[in-house]
């Protein structure tokens, strides 16, 4: 379990770092595009198309595993806060399992779409040029698959902790992060 945890943390870290590189690219290119547009009346052709296809999708989908691993998604706990520690674990498991079903469904359909767009070698018209965007269609399944792996890991870890607690004196003592 420790090895799996380490590998997932490493994967999430790498994907987040790649997302950060895409974010830096997006900031630089949009700034240069605005600068060229106002100083030289000549924007960088294809900026909006390239930014929409590559950096924006990478910035959104690559860090999903990292955010999930850290438990940093937005949550509303008005009712769950009133539950016992055991009740809160069950609510968390239900939320993780439901999220896993949604992510797996999206993963399935984004893989189908990525395969289809890859076969077509999808390109977008950017005025003076065609921008190949089929590659960026794989960003969604990559980010989704990493998030799904993290969710499976979190669910397994939660069940194992409860099984370990069942035999311990005191029964259901809460474990931080469980």
Q: pLDDT digits over 118-148, tens only?
A: 999 999 988 778 889 999 999 999 999 999 9
Q: Domain-by-domain residue ranges, the chain? A: 2-70+83-164
pTM to 2 decimals? 0.83
Q: Are 150 and 65 in contact (CB under 8 A)?
A: yes
Q: Are 46 and 128 in contact (CB under 8 A)?
A: yes
pLDDT grade, residue 162 (50/70/90)?
Answer: confident
Q: Are 109 and 150 in contact (CB under 8 A)?
A: no
Sheet strands (E) in 78-173: 123-125, 130-132
Mean pLDDT, residues 29-36: 95
- pLDDT number for residue 137: 96
């Amino acid at each position: 379990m420790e090895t799996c945890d380490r590998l997932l943390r490493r994967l999430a870290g790498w994907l987040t770092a790649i997302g950060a590189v895409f974010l830096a690219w997006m900031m630089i290119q949009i700034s240069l595009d605005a600068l060229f547009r106002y100083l030289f009346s000549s924007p960088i052709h294809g900026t909006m198309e390239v930014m929409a296809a590559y950096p924006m999708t990478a910035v959104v989908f690559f860090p999903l595993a990292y955010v999930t691993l850290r438990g940093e998604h937005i949550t509303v706990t008005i009712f769950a806060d009133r539950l016992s520690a055991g009740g809160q674990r069950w609510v968390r498991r239900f939320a993780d399992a439901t999220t896993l079903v949604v992510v797996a469904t999206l993963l399935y359909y984004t893989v189908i779409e990525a395969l289809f767009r890859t076969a077509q070698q999808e390109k977008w018209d950017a005025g003076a040029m065609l921008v190949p965007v089929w590659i960026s269609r794989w960003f969604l399944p990559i980010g989704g698959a990493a998030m799904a792996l993290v969710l499976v890991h979190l669910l397994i870890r939660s069940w194992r902790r409860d099984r370990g607690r069942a035999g311990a004196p005191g029964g259901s003592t809460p474990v931080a992060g469980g």
